[in-house]
Chain A
Amino acid sequence: EAGVTQFPSHSVIEKGQTVTLRCDPISGHDNLYWYRRVMGKEIKFLLHFVKESKQDESGMPNNRFLAERTGGTYSTLKVQPAELEDSGVYFCASSQDTGRGTDTQYFGPGTRLTVL
């Protein structure tokens, strides 16, 4: 079974440009999460989809970040315009919805974003 995949693995852009990150969750996983690790700091929650709906986007840093999950399958995270402080590793994770709560989250390899 394929795990969570993310594309691209690494992106280098200039300040002010736009970047779109993609995440393909494990097939059948309704829950999809985005996290970010800025260098030297902890991995921080950004937002959570349940199917195509945003369940919680309290971790989104500002309105330059836009996440979508059309059709409830893959998700994209767009940063527009990118700023220097957006540099970091963006992780995606997915989990089943067993109804028991605290389902195990499976992580993708991450996308390393560098804003110059």
Chain B
Amino acid sequence: AQRVTQPEKLLSVFKGAPVELKCNYSYSGSPELFWYVQYSRQRLQLLLRHISRESIKGFTADLNKGETSFHLKKPFAQEEDSAMYYCALQTGANNLFFGTGTRLTVIP
């Protein structure tokens, strides 16, 4: 069965510091992985997906199949990055399986 694990419920970093939000997955098939973000009083929105291999708002995430991880990284955190971040896995049926989320707080 598929499973997404985000081990940190809360993460605080200082502005300008690097940030890494961890995500591990379990899935027997070929995974499609995503990071969704929910800013305060806004809806859940897609941040990035592994197949795009893009950098969005300075964030990157690399799929590591050996470690079954998809950690989200940014070299220099900004205050506006404070939000709830969800790692998600999409199966062939197009349904998303989410982790429990990590609340990131960037301290000025």
Chain B interface size, under 10 / 10 to 19 / 20 to 34 / 35 or more: 20 to 34
A35 to B101, CA, bound (A): 15
B38 closest partner in A (C-beta): A107
- Contact of B93 with A35 in the complex, beta carbons under 8 Å: no
Across the interface, which residues of A come within 8 angstroms of B90, CB to CB? 102
* Mask of A35-53 contacts with B, CB within 8 angstroms, 1/0: 1000011111100100000
| Nearest Cβ on chain A to B87's Cβ, whole angstroms | 10
A10 to B95, CA, bound (A): 25
- Contact of B44 with A107 in the complex, beta carbons under 8 Å: yes
A33 closest partner in B (C-beta): B95
A90 to B97, CA, bound (A): 15
B86 closest partner in A (C-beta): A43
Q: Can you list 10 A-B pairs with a CB-CB distance of less than 8 A?
A: A4-B43, A33-B95, A45-B97, A48-B95, A59-B95, A95-B94, A101-B92, A102-B49, A103-B94, A104-B49
B residues at A contact (CB < 8 Å): 4, 32, 36, 43-46, 49, 51, 86, 90, 92-101
A residues at B contact (CB < 8 Å): 3-4, 31, 33, 35, 40-45, 48, 55-56, 59, 91, 93, 95, 101-110
Instruction: Other than A41-B100, A93-B96, A107-B45, give 16 A-B pairs with Cβ distance below 8 A.
Output: A33-B95, A40-B100, A42-B4, A42-B98, A45-B95, A45-B97, A48-B93, A56-B95, A102-B32, A102-B90, A103-B94, A105-B96, A106-B46, A107-B44, A110-B43, A110-B44
